[in-house]
Chain A
Amino acid sequence: MSPKNILQGENTDEFDGVGMEGNLQCGDQMMVVIKVDKEKEVITDCQWKTYGCASAIASTSILSEMVKGRTLDDAFNISPKEVAMELGGLPDHKIHCSVLGDKALRAAINDFYTRNGMLDKVKQSQVKIVCQCMSISDHDIEDAVLEGARTYFELQERTKLGTVCGQCKDEAESLLEKFKHIHFGA
């Protein structure tokens, strides 16, 4: 196991964008730093550090190799599934460990845009509240799917979504199918 592109030392000053996701209490944290060719908006270097398990280490190592030479736009859209495929697959219960790397990469790209006054390019991943009663967002649904929810009932067990008025059921079910498809090809 020889992970590539680990940031040596503690200093991130020489990089053009820094992204951090997760936290130590939750058991995983990821930092991705990038250098950017500002003319071409192409990533020239990508390094990282993680407090995370082997899946997080492996997937971020692969990701850091994949993004070099790609445009910011292109890199921003790399999905966890692509990374997992590049790795030769991950067990289902390990998928959620691997998504942190590309979340941190997107944060680093947004950080680059912010620093360079390109605020119009900052892509916020829009959070949409699906269940108004319990305040459950599409991100919460995605997390629940990554943590193992496969049916509407399991989704409800994990998020309490749709347990009050029930009006969000159709939208939640279609998001459930969408995230199952994105992350597990199901």
Chain B
Amino acid sequence: MKVYFDNNATTPLHPEVKKELTAAMEMFGNPSSMHSYGREARANVEDARSRVARFIGAHENEIVFVGSGSEANNTVLSLFVCSSGQCIPGLKMRNTIITTKIEHPCVLETSDCLAHRGVKVKYLDVDQYGKIYLDQLDSMLDDSVGLVSVMMANNEIGTMQDIAAITEMVHERGAYMHTDAVQAVGKVPVDVSKLGVDFLTISGHKIYGPKGVGALFVKNGIPYCPFIRGGHQEKGRRAGTENTLGIMGLARAVDMRVLEMDDEHQRLLVLKQALRKGIEERIDDIYFNGHPTDSLAGTLNVSFPGAEGEAILLYLDLEGIAVSTGSACASGSLDPSHVLLATGVDAERAHGSIRLSLGRESSMEEVDYVLDVLPRTIERIRNMSTAYIKGGLHATSR
């Protein structure tokens, strides 16, 4: 049996998206061309824009199509390294960015880079469930802060932040608010008019759309500067010939989210509950990471002390089960998941963590299969683990 429980990494194309893409392949015109080929492409791109806008409660001229969620996040943060009046009041006045310790690397590494360029960056801590402390945000917010960027739902542990409340605080102090909603849009209701944010990031391939396309919401009247320059596309906000196929696929993915999201949410909650309960009953000495309730319906992050995450991942893969891990070994660095460490989880628990992320194709049969395979996999790895030998860290626990 093949089980794909890695939907937070990427998702399979929705069958309707596949159909849309296949049909759209015939349409090759450049949306900037004035002839009929170009006009056809332009009409499709603008139609897609209005559908994506409607999905998040935005005006259609507030949507900028980009190449990825990472590009959208880079674009927003990079509004800073500029002293032009057109951009967010630059280095001289509001030269501080606030973000969190659990953001996606595309936000964290861009922030690090900005720090080298003279921008001051402050990082919010999170509690044991991955929620930021609103009072810490309050104490950091002063007249020097230009932008606050807080992700809506965390990719590793699924924890959701109260973006509306955070935005209100940020706006009271005159700063702009960005949220990376890549993991939230299409899984929970997202309405920018209710959230009040100035910038919001969307990605196509997390919601059964194609890879290589994303959208950035930029509220009307908010300072903006393109990250990729040299073309009039997207009203001068993002140069480069539009990815017409990707954009149409994204819009179709969004259409399908409208139809499927609510039922799927309820279904995933049931599956996750069964998975959680089954793991609890069948495997000793485990820890669940992330918020127990305020979390994405399909995301379950669990630590197995004594077993190393990459070994778990590969043994599960041999049985046809795809998951991901917060272990350092899988990341190519020596440090385990920065998200888990930020929640106060110790390094061993972080190294021994796996993330199961379910999606629209996940079923109870798959959950049952995982519950059959996982206990013996963990048992097998723990049997070869030094953690349980005489004098080992967990010597007395079994």
Scoring B residues 361 to 398 as 1 if CB is less than 8 Å from chain A, else 0, what string do you get? 00000000000000000000001111111101101000
From A20, A27, A30, contact of B336 by CB (8 A):
A27
Which one, A45-53, A105-113, A127-135, A149-157, is touching chain B? Answer: A45-53
Number of interface residues of B (CB under 8 A): 31
Scoring A residues 1 to 18 as 1 if CB is less than 8 Å from chain B, else 0, what string do you get? 101001110111000000
> In which size bucket is the chain A interface?
20 to 34
Complex CA gap A1/B334 in Å reads: 24
Asked whether any CB of chain A lies closer than 8 Å to the CB of B351, the reply is yes
Asked whether any CB of chain A lies closer than 8 Å to the CB of B85, the reply is no
Asked whether any CB of chain A lies closer than 8 Å to the CB of B308, the reply is yes
Closest A residue, CB atoms, query B351: A27
Closest A residue, CB atoms, query B395: A10
Asked whether any CB of chain B lies closer than 8 Å to the CB of A137, the reply is no
B residues in contact with A53, CB < 8 Å? 308-311, 314, 327, 329-330
Asked whether any CB of chain B lies closer than 8 Å to the CB of A186, the reply is no
Asked whether any CB of chain A lies closer than 8 Å to the CB of B348, the reply is yes
From B332, B348, B392, contact of A25 by CB (8 A):
B348
Is A28's CB under 8 angstroms from B308's CB?
yes
Closest A residue, CB atoms, query B307: A51
Cβ < 8 Å to A, chain B residues 229-283: none
Closest A residue, CB atoms, query B394: A24
Is A51's CB under 8 angstroms from B334's CB?
no
Is B329's CB under 8 angstroms from A28's CB?
yes
B residues in contact with A57, CB < 8 Å? 311, 384
Complex CA gap A169/B276 in Å reads: 54
B residues in contact with A25, CB < 8 Å? 346-348
Complex CA gap A10/B390 in Å reads: 6
Is A27's CB under 8 angstroms from B315's CB?
no
> A10-B395, A49-B385 are known contacts. Are A54 and B347 too (CB-CB below 8 A)?
no
Is A51's CB under 8 angstroms from B308's CB?
yes
Is B383's CB under 8 angstroms from A6's CB?
yes
Is A31's CB under 8 angstroms from B311's CB?
no
Is B328's CB under 8 angstroms from A27's CB?
yes
A residues in contact with B389, CB < 8 Å? 7, 10, 12, 31, 49
> A6-B384, A52-B311 are known contacts. Are A1 and B329 too (CB-CB below 8 A)?
no
Is B390's CB under 8 angstroms from A12's CB?
yes
Closest A residue, CB atoms, query B330: A53
Asked whether any CB of chain B lies closer than 8 Å to the CB of A97, the reply is yes
Complex CA gap A24/B327 in Å reads: 12
> A55-B329, A97-B329 are known contacts. Are A1 and B386 too (CB-CB below 8 A)?
no
> A53-B310, A53-B327, A55-B329 are known contacts. Are A20 and B346 too (CB-CB below 8 A)?
no
- The number of residue pairs between A and B whose CB atoms lie closer than 8 Å in the complex comes to 82
Asked whether any CB of chain B lies closer than 8 Å to the CB of A85, the reply is no
Asked whether any CB of chain A lies closer than 8 Å to the CB of B318, the reply is yes
Asked whether any CB of chain A lies closer than 8 Å to the CB of B306, the reply is yes
Is A24's CB under 8 angstroms from B393's CB?
yes
Cβ < 8 Å to B, chain A residues 69-110: 93-94, 96-97
Complex CA gap A10/B346 in Å reads: 24
Is A30's CB under 8 angstroms from B386's CB?
yes
> A10-B390, A54-B311 are known contacts. Are A27 and B347 too (CB-CB below 8 A)?
yes
A residues in contact with B390, CB < 8 Å? 10-12
Complex CA gap A56/B384 in Å reads: 12
From A12, A24, A31, A97, contact of B348 by CB (8 A):
A24
Asked whether any CB of chain B lies closer than 8 Å to the CB of A177, the reply is no
> A27-B336, A57-B311 are known contacts. Are A51 and B387 too (CB-CB below 8 A)?
yes
Closest A residue, CB atoms, query B391: A20
> A12-B389, A27-B328 are known contacts. Are A3 and B384 too (CB-CB below 8 A)?
yes
A95 to chain B, nearest CB (A): 12
A residues in contact with B308, CB < 8 Å? 27-28, 51-53, 56
Is B315's CB under 8 angstroms from A1's CB?
yes
Cβ < 8 Å to A, chain B residues 312-362: 314-315, 318, 327-330, 332, 334, 336, 346-348, 351
B179 to chain A, nearest CB (A): 32
B residues in contact with A51, CB < 8 Å? 306-308, 385-387
Complex CA gap A8/B347 in Å reads: 26
Closest B residue, CB atoms, query A24: B348
A residues in contact with B315, CB < 8 Å? 1
Complex CA gap A26/B352 in Å reads: 11
Is B332's CB under 8 angstroms from A93's CB?
yes
Complex CA gap A56/B311 in Å reads: 9
Is B386's CB under 8 angstroms from A31's CB?
yes
Asked whether any CB of chain B lies closer than 8 Å to the CB of A159, the reply is no
Asked whether any CB of chain B lies closer than 8 Å to the CB of A138, the reply is no
Complex CA gap A29/B386 in Å reads: 7
Can you list 7 A-B pairs, Cβ within 8 angstroms, ordered by A?
Answer: A8-B383, A10-B395, A11-B390, A24-B351, A25-B346, A49-B384, A49-B385
> A49-B385, A50-B386, A51-B387 given. 11 additional CB < 8 A pairs?
A10-B389, A10-B390, A12-B390, A24-B386, A24-B387, A25-B347, A26-B334, A27-B308, A27-B336, A51-B306, A52-B329
Give the 3 A-B CB pairs with smallest separation, nearest first: A53-B329, A53-B310, A27-B351
